Amino acid sequence: MFDTLQDRLATTFKGLRGKGRLTDADIDATTRQIRIALLEADVNLGVVKEFVAAVKERCRGEELSKALNPTQQIVKIVNEELIGILGGDTRTVRFAKVPPTVIMLAGLQGAGKTTLAGKLAHWFKQEGHSPLLVACDLQRPNAVTQLQVVGDRAGVSVFAPEPGNGVGDPIQVARASIEEARRKLYDVVIIDTAGRLGVDEELMAQAANIKTATNPDETLFVVDAMIGQDAVNTAVAFQEGVGFDGVVLTKLDGDARGGAALSIARVVGKPIMFASSGEGLKDFDVFHPDRMASRILDMGDMLTLIEQAEKAFDAEQSQAAAAKLMAGKGEFGLDDFLGLMRQMRRMGPMSKIMGMLPGVGQMKDQIDSIDEKEIDRIEAIILAMTPAERADVGILNGSRRSRIAKGSGVEVRDVNNLVNRFVDARKMMSQMGQMMGPGANRMVGSVAKRGNKQASRKKNRKGSGNPAKRAAQERAEQQAQGPANPGSAFGLGAQQPSEADLQKAMADFRMPPAMEQMFKQNNKGPRQ
């Protein structure tokens, strides 16, 4: 969504390279380009003026660091101001002191509100809560059925006593859902209300009455990030008519210019709390202004990438595969590769994962050209092999490769390409492991191990909606576990290497033969 803005800002910053200091002319030219870039992204004019004025004032102030070059100075200031207009700090859900916590969803028709309700319920379930979806959209045809389907996919219960399609009282359904949650011990209630085609007075009054009847702890306004300034205008009208506590952005994976995301928090004065970026239940997460600003400026989003890896990777399986790979004896087989590939796929599409890495803005075409079906073909080829063939690709002769190609529906050359690339990659990784030393395999899997511990805590945690009680339980768990291991974040344990150990490791260091040969060739003389 922010590709155009990202490209324009990158071009603007590139023009500052080579300058020793920022002059007034440089500041004026740069802020002018930033202003144009934001306006082309359909950002609210008032927000643009405020943003550009703040950047210009800070660039001309005394806060510029002498340790940074002009490009770094501008990027630092723009990043901090972007975080400001996106809402500043990350805003989390306020839980009720006495369960259930009631969350009411509202928004325009077509914003993806019903699907969003299922994603939100799935997210709460992963966080250790017991959510209940409530069907209060009794107007739109088959809205109740849609919510039931979404709830079934998310694995959560749906309260739908009325069939909908114009039948039933949504206010009474909302009121009854609170009693249902208390009776069956659901600690989070998510109310899906009727969408509006615009500023509809009747439906606005209905939303206000549902809010009065249920007294929600959070009222979230669901916004389609692709409709630009109209989303901001509707949010302002809804804020005046009903009021809400936070915003949820949907369809962030679209190709629109993204002005709503950069405008709405500042215009309505309410934070963006969640963001949805796809059709899957997992394409949803808490909105972090600092991480979004980093992605807009092509600085990546490593924290989100690490969090997703923590959820997707299995520590024991990853460490076992890493030990085989680092051993360099050919023990790492296609079964191990397939297991790691499946874990990575659980993190999401490869294009999405690559998009979180710093500096990939210049590789958009290559990332967009990633074919997810190619990964399916690789999996089909591996599964067409026998266990012995997966363990040792050296036994794959011509007849075996022909049989595998027929079994997986590909050509023999596809099998050959996979085997050759796998052998080359295994050899390279083995050389890297030998270069890094025996501690390398212990580092691999540390993120997954941390993720498994978090998942275990969530699984064992009581589904209380009281955050104070939950915090006390977590403190008690930490005290019971004892003091933290200072080296555990990197999988190295508490024991740190001595200076003598480091000197010995440097003396024993040997570069992999292929890399050593490459350096010898490069040192023969200047390039022609």
- pLDDT tens-digit profile of 446-485? 544 555 555 555 545 444 455 555 666 666 655 554 444 4
Asked if 162 and 22 sit in the same domain, the reply is no
Question: How far is 285 from 251, CA to CA, in rounded Å?
Answer: 13
Residue 93 is assigned to a structural domain of this protein: no
Asked if 122 and 260 sit in the same domain, the reply is yes
Mean pLDDT of 23-30: 83
State residue 15 phi and psi, 5-degree precision: -70, -10
Q: Left, alpha or beta for 92 (phi > 0: left; psi -120 to 50: alpha)?
A: beta
Asked if 138 and 227 sit in the same domain, the reply is yes
Beta strands across the sheet bearing 131-136: 157-159, 131-136, 188-193, 101-107, 218-224, 246-250, 272-276, 284-286
Q: What confidence score (pLDDT) does residue 326 get?
A: 62
Paired sense of beta strands 284-286 and 101-107, if any: unpaired
143-152, 278-287, 376-385, 493-502: range with lowest mean pLDDT:
493-502
Q: How many domains does the chain fold into? A: 3
* Prior bond of 467 cis (ω within 30°): no
Which is more confident, 71 or 223? Answer: 223
pLDDT band at 318 (very low <50, low <70, confident <90, very high): low
Mean pLDDT of 297-323: 61
Residue 298 three-state SS: coil
Question: How far is 36 from 292, CA to CA, in rounded Å?
Answer: 20
Tens of pLDDT, residue by residue over 328-338, are: 556 778 888 88
Say what percent of the chain tops pLDDT 70. Answer: 65
Query: Is the pTM higher than 0.85?
Result: no
Residue 205 is assigned to a structural domain of this protein: yes
Which is more confident, 198 or 145? Answer: 145
Question: How far is 18 from 70, CA to CA, in rounded Å?
Answer: 9
Residue 11 is assigned to a structural domain of this protein: yes
pLDDT band at 497 (very low <50, low <70, confident <90, very high): very low
Say what percent of the chain tops pLDDT 90. Answer: 22
Which domain does 338 fall in, by range?
307-442
Tens of pLDDT, residue by residue over 251-284, are: 877 655 667 777 888 888 888 899 888 778 888 8
* C-alpha separations of 340 from 336, 440, 445 in Å: 6, 17, 11
Mean pLDDT of 119-146: 92
Q: What confidence score (pLDDT) does residue 134 get?
A: 94
* pLDDT for 58 beyond 80: yes
Q: Read off the CATH number of the domain in which 363 is found.
A: 1.10.260.30
Instruction: Return all residues near 210 (Cβ < 8 A) that are at least 6 apart.
Output: 104, 136, 170, 171, 174, 191, 193
Query: Which of 442, 465, 490 is the last residue in one of the domains?
Result: 442
For residue 108, what is the DSSP state?
B
Asked if 417 and 272 sit in the same domain, the reply is no
